[in-house]
């Protein structure tokens, strides 16, 4: 649920065996082929667990609150991990919604080549 009009989808993958994954993979864990993508940014999720990390690598905000969340899509659950927006306080069981961020960490100062991967994505914001 992004305020950015041009935000890309939070793309999950549905496979022939009915399973869904985030991020996307060429095949499901069971080896089934991908059939369609699903935009998770239109859905809310439940916090499964979280941590506030104080020892962060170069280019990462400090502290960095991160959560694993679970979406329910047509009776199938799919989990995602990501930063909590504004390092907001969350608890297990809280409802959150995805919010788009153009840059999650500074690509220029870590060990990875900046061009080797994308750096935008979705944080999770409590709905209450």
Partner 1 sequence: MDRVAVIGASMTKFGQRDVWIRELLSQAAEECLDDADVAPDEIEHLYVSNMASGEFEGQGGVPNLLAHDVGAIPAYTERIDQTSSSGGAGVYAAWRSIASGASEMTLLVGGEKMTHKTTAEATDIIASITHPAEYKHGLTLPSFAGMTARRYLHKYDAPRESLAKVAVKNHKNGVDNPNAQFRKEIDVETALDSPIIADPLRLYDFCPITDGSAALLFCPESVAEEYADEYAVISGIGGATDTHVVHERDDPTVMNGVVDSGEQAYEMAGLSPEDIEVAELHDMFTILEFLQMEGLGFADQGEAWKEMDEGTTERDGDLPINTSGGLKSKGHPLGASGVAQAVEIYEQMIGEAGPRQVDADVGLTCNVGGFGNCVITAIMEAAE
Interface residues with partner 1 (CB under 8 A) are 21-23, 29, 48-61, 64, 66-68, 79-83, 92, 104-105, 110-112, 116-121
Q: How far is the CB of 104 from partner 1 (least distance, A)?
A: 5
Q: How far is the CB of 73 from partner 1 (least distance, A)?
A: 15
Element holding 97 (H helix, E strand): strand 95-101
Phi, psi of 45, rounded to the nearest 5 degrees: -140, 165
Q: How far is the CB of 5 from partner 1 (least distance, A)?
A: 22
DSSP SS3 for 110:
coil
* Nearest to 66, CA basis, from 41, 80, 2: 80
| Residues in CB range of 39: below 8 A, 6 or more apart | 9, 10, 11, 12
35/92 with CB nearer partner 1: 92
**Count of other CB atoms within 10 angstroms of residue 126:** 17
50/100 with CB nearer partner 1: 50
43/79 with CB nearer partner 1: 79
Q: How far is the CB of 55 from partner 1 (least distance, A)?
A: 5
């Amino acid at each position: 649920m992004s305020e950015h009009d041009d935000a890309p989808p939070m793309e999950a993958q549905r496979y022939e065996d009915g399973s869904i994954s985030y991020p996307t993979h060429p095949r499901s864990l069971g080896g089934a082929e991908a059939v369609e993508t699903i935009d998770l940014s239109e859905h809310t999720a439940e916090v499964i667990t979280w941590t506030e990390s104080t020892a962060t690598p170069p280019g990462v905000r400090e502290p960095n609150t991160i959560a694993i969340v679970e979406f329910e899509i047509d009776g199938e659950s799919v989990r995602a991990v990501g930063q909590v927006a504004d390092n907001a306080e969350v608890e297990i069981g809280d409802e959150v919604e995805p919010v788009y961020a153009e840059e999650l960490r500074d690509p220029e100062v870590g060990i990875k080549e900046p061009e080797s991967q994308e750096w935008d994505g979705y944080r999770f914001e409590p709905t209450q």
